[in-house]
């Protein structure tokens, strides 16, 4: 979703997590931010893998794990690279 949030007034890509609880949709996390500027994300082996950009326009691929209320940083898979290299890592 592309929108602003209470804590980040500038519009940007945001990750929101919901669950089905007794046949009702319940919000688990109304994400304001992971780390960098979110470009894309996917679920891989129980973690969220994100493709992010830095304020200087470089790319980062990171992984985050769900920790009850929000996400905890796990690791960088690559940092400060050009888009093509980041996409290759992101899609592996």
Read off the pLDDT of residues 20-50 as tens digits, 9 standing for 90 and up.
999 999 988 877 678 899 999 999 999 999 9
- What average pLDDT score do residues 2-30 get? 87
Mean pLDDT of the chain: 91
Rounded to two decimals, what is the model's pTM? Answer: 0.84
**Contact present, 12 and 38 (Cβ < 8 Å):** yes
Q: pLDDT tier at 65 (50, 70, 90 boundaries)?
A: very high
> Is the Cα dihedral 3, 8, 12, 17 positive or negative?
negative
Neighbours of 3 (CB within 10 A): 10
- What average pLDDT score do residues 45-72 get? 94
């Amino acid at each position: 979703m592309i929108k602003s949030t209470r804590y980040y007034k500038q519009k940007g890509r945001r990750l929101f997590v919901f669950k089905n609880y007794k046949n009702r949709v319940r919000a688990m996390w109304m994400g304001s931010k992971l780390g960098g500027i979110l470009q894309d994300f996917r679920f891989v082996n129980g973690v969220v893998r994100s493709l992010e950009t830095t304020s200087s326009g470089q790319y980062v691929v990171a992984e985050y794990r769900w920790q009850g209320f929000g996400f905890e940083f796990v690791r960088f898979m690559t940092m400060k690279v050009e888009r093509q290299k980041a996409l290759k890592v992101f899609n592996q």
